[in-house]
Structure 1
């Protein structure tokens, strides 16, 4: 039986943020006015990742600590490393904001580029570890219903505006089957206005071909 992977959807959304932002940074002239949009997106990504780590520390890892304290200690240390990488990027962002000369901004932009590459590499490795090691510990000790409850507690702790922004990245980053399952669950259990808002999100983010397949699967075509 296929077990529930609590990390799959959010991690795909987070990876989508990383890939998209990395490309945007590579294409950005940090001495030009349009660099502001890249900096704003980078700040949002860093905040999303920092909050995601806090959610895991608060709502997931305590359930594993009594079963595998060594693994939890390792993952918490990973989160500390991630936080330091984040702070390095925020320091460079602040330096870029106060720089007044184009050559200064370009030089700091290069620092941001390399620092974000480090951030990406570390987080891709870390998320793989969670899905290849931590997830199996959750499956070993908890039922899918209990794992869903952990996820529900996380969702309840997230402000609606932040949750919707994260969900948009997830919608962009998951496959048709996953979109269909997500929307189908909402259609069955969420208020009608919530389902409608997420269906609109799918219409905004998916290609016409993908949207048609999803609507057919949902019997909405």
Structure 2
């Protein structure tokens, strides 16, 4: 049976949304000031989300890692320096882009695109370190009960809306079987009378074909959610 992985699902969601954001920024119409402003705002929202995610890891995961495997924890700390610089650089570009003059906007957009991709480069290295250094270290030194306690503490710290947002960010990037497993566990945690509405809410960011597959995998008709 697979061991509990504290990183995999959330990291898959982050990768998918970072790549989509890079395409959006790169392909945007620099003559459309309103669209440029929205793209800049999405970049700032992403850096805010990534910082919040790092705070969650620092609170719930990395103290246990540092206690059990200080060398693995040191490897993650080294990644933070490059990552922090890339986050700050993207923030600067995103804040400057909406104020660029029409003539300067094409180059400002490309500078934003480059800054975003520099962050993605740094962030991918960070995710790789967590997935290939930190998680194996936790598997070596911790039992599944300890890893489950970490997940439980994090989930308990989230409001219902924050938990739903976490699922919305993650579910579209997961394989169908994993998506169904997450959805099944989520629905099982609410009263039976709320199960349909809960499934309808958590599947809100899925593409139509993903949503249809989820309901098929769970063995319920999509109309069940509307009862």
Could you state the TM-score of these two structures normalised by the residue count of structure 2? 0.86
Any conservation in 2 of the 1:31–1:105 contact (CA below 8 Å)?
yes
Distance in 2 of aligned mates of 1:116 and 1:77: 20
Could you state the TM-score of these two structures normalised by the residue count of structure 1? 0.88
Cα deviations by residue, 1:167-192 (Å, 9 ceiling, x for unpaired): 21212111110111011112222345
Q: Which residue of 2 aligns with 1:16?
A: 16
Any conservation in 1 of the 2:41–2:94 contact (CA below 8 Å)?
no
Q: Which residue of 2 aligns with 1:58?
A: 59
Q: Which residue of 1 aligns with 2:224?
A: none
Residue 66 of structure 1 deviates from its aligned partner by 2.2
> What does 1:99-110 align with in structure 2 at a 5 Å threshold?
99=100, 101-110=101-110
Change (3 A) 1:23 1:59: same
- Which ranges in structure 1 are unaligned for 5 or more consecutive residues? none
Any conservation in 2 of the 1:12–1:173 contact (CA below 8 Å)?
yes
Specify the SS of the correspondent of 1:34: helix
Distance in 1 of aligned mates of 2:86 and 2:16: 19
Deviation >6 Å, runs of 4+? none
Distance in 1 of aligned mates of 2:195 and 2:108: 42
Change (3 A) 1:110 1:5: same
My pick for the range that moved more, 54-63 or 77-86, is 77-86
Residue 80 of structure 1 deviates from its aligned partner by 3.1
> What does 1:162-173 align with in structure 2 at a 5 Å threshold?
162-173=162-173
- Greater RCO (Cα-Cα under 8 Å, separation 6 or more): 1
